[in-house]
Amino acid sequence: MAPKSRQPQRSTRYVLLLAVFVVFLVGVGARLVYLQLVAGPAYAAMAHDQRSREMDVPARRGSIYDREGEPLAVSMEARDVYAVPDAVVDKQAAATAVAGVLGGTAEEYLGKLNKDAPFVYLARKVDVERADALKQLDLVGIGFQEDARRVYPSNELACQILGFVGIDDVGLAGVEQYYDSVLAGTPGKVIAEKGTRGIPIPGGVSVQEDAVDGENIVLTIDKDIQYQAHVELQAAVEKWGAKGGSVVVMDPDTGAILAMASTPTFDPNKFATADAKAFRNRPIVDTYEPGSTIKSLTAAAVIEEKMFTPTSAFVLPPTLKVGGRTIHESHPRGQVTWSLTDIVTNSSNVGAVKLGIALGEDRLYDYFSRFGLTEKTGVDFPGEAMGWLPPPAQWSASSIGNIPFGQGVSVTPMQLARALASIANGGELVTPHFLQALPDSPDKTLVWPKKQAISAETAAEMRGVLSAVVTEGTGSGARVTGYSVAGKTGTAQKARTDGQAGYAQGKYIASFSGFVPAEDPAVLIVVMIDEPSNSIFGGTVAAPTFSRLSAYCMEHLKIPPTTTKTSSTDASHTADDAVTGEPQSDKD
């Protein structure tokens, strides 16, 4: 019997092998199609990320100038020094070399080079000269990037106004923070291909987006007046052994702030090592009970209501009982008949309360609101505080016996300056501001709103009343030779800060607020001295500082003299300004 043929079996095997091979080819093809068409973009992106690095190109921060074009804050060319740790062959040697040029310790840099990271900064904002010296060492894996370093040429001058920026040039305080979006600009980008050791590939793809530099800004600050304000304030704080103090110098017509100083100060070039308490721009962020300076607003309210005139006479008893409390004067006296002007000139607590009672709680609150005491001033500065004036519904029976002379109400020096400016300028409540111009955006119009607080007639009468404070009353220390001066003294006991009601024993704020020349004011100045020793009265402690600073402003701004009389800042006071606080309103 003949053997069976094996040909059909071989054919079946071939067919199976061919099928397997076809399936394999189809699978490979499908995989290739998937890799190329479906997953291709993702893998390409991964490959791109592995061989390229995106780096920001810092925008140059805009400069800050004073009203005369003097630089207050500028950005100087600098370099960032970075490393690609895996590309550094001898990390110890590199760390030692970097420390030798940039300063610091080799251990500090070695710690950074040993990090498990594709990129680390070794130093930021290095001087160009030192960066170039390091670059000449040609250290593999060490790179350099252009940057800028913020510099404040005048160091402590206007430090609380300007503020400072962080390591990434972001404004962290002051005008630098408030106008950060204007000053900062827009960073650019560079994307460059690099090899496995982090070194740029010659001829590799490089994409760059140019940075847009920030805009320059011009402030209303006058650098010379700012310096003088700083000097005079520091001298007063030292003379009277005070805890601190502040000064505001403002154009009462426009609200432009010419100077603003606070103590203690700091150097914004070294802000990281400064006491954070020194960062406070006290005229804007701190509140206090203003005391007798408020009497000018109470007097203006009754004149505006046509209830009384500056010559209206009042019979004033030695003390006055209101709501179970007895209101005293700063110094004992008998019964007197004084005019409204005399009440303000002699800083009478009893007289101010009688005016407040005649006006009534609702109208007194309304006028204090008109003078801006129930709202923020709108100044272009971060963190503005607002004083406290409760609505009449929250007043006690004795509130009308202390609010008219500035007790039981708090304000910021900026609020007080704004309120007083309405008397100086003819009745308008201005918006205090630091920004004068945006030179890189000439078409942009800056608008600082105003609103009417009192009539021009009332403002004129009050300028006369406040002039008498200086010529005849408690403010004689504020006189300026050759110029008429108007203003009001203030001496207020500080409220307790330990959670207990009442006032801190022996702690006062002495102040003087005024403007010059009285008839057509060019500057308004508020001086506040915190916790002076030896003397506590605003007419003694703060008024002379006002006088010297005013005299400087008149000369610097070339304001012609308005009087021919010779005055002395050391003139003896006809009366001490009234002290507001517990001693003037004791309970029975």
The string of pLDDT tens digits covering residues 536-550 is 999 999 999 999 999
Burial, 259: exposed, middle or buried (Cβ in 10 Å; 0-12, 13-18, 19+)? buried
330 is catalytic: no
> Is-cis flag, bond preceding 521, omega within 30?
no
Task: Quote the pLDDT of residue 146.
Answer: 85
Same domain for 181 and 244, yes or no, is no
Same domain for 496 and 427, yes or no, is yes
Selection from 291, 576, 584, 277 nearest residue 416 by Cα: 291
Same domain for 466 and 481, yes or no, is yes
Same domain for 145 and 188, yes or no, is yes
Residue range 428-438: average pLDDT? 98
Task: Quote the pLDDT of residue 587.
Answer: 30
Residue range 260-285: average pLDDT? 96
**Cα separation, 348 vs 354, whole angstroms:** 10
Q: Which of 202, 218, 234 is the last residue of a domain?
A: 218
Q: Which of 36-40, 74-78, 92-96, 183-187 has the lowest mean pLDDT?
A: 36-40
Residue 36 is which amino acid? Q
Same domain for 461 and 415, yes or no, is yes
Outline where DSSP puts E strands in 64-193: 64-65, 71-83, 120-127, 142-151, 164-165, 171-173, 188-193
Tell me the pLDDT band of 313, cut-offs 50, 70 and 90: very high
Query: What domain range includes position 431?
Result: 223-266+281-436+449-587
Same domain for 72 and 105, yes or no, is yes
**Cα separation, 580 vs 319, whole angstroms:** 14
Number of domains in the chain: 2
Residue 250, C-beta contacts closer than 8 angstroms, at least 6 positions apart: 256, 257, 258, 417, 421, 432, 523, 524, 525
Same domain for 386 and 428, yes or no, is yes
Residue 405, C-beta contacts closer than 8 angstroms, at least 6 positions apart: 291, 292, 294, 295, 298, 349, 352, 353, 356, 578, 580, 584
Using DSSP's 3-state secondary structure scheme, residue 355 falls into helix
Domain CATH code at residue 416: 3.40.710.10
CA max distance for the chain: 157
Task: Quote the pLDDT of residue 119.
Answer: 85
What pTM was computed for the model? 0.85
In a domain, 64, yes or no: yes
Same domain for 306 and 383, yes or no, is yes
In a domain, 23, yes or no: no
Which residue reads 């403010």 in tokens?
Answer: 475
Across 363-387, b (16+ Cβ under 10 Å) vs e yields bbbbbbebbbbbeebbbbbbebbbb
Same domain for 125 and 138, yes or no, is yes
In a domain, 298, yes or no: yes
* Average pLDDT of the residues of the chain: 88
Percent of the chain at pLDDT exceeding 70:
86
Residue range 225-242: average pLDDT? 97
Exactly one of 75, 154, 292, 339 is catalytic; which is it? Answer: 292
Q: Nearest 10 degrees: CA dihedral of 160, 291, 362, 350? A: -170
In a domain, 27, yes or no: no
Residue 393 is which amino acid? A
Tell me the pLDDT band of 570, cut-offs 50, 70 and 90: very low
- The first and second tokens of residue 277, run together, are 């308490």
Same domain for 214 and 227, yes or no, is no
Percent of the chain at pLDDT exceeding 90:
73
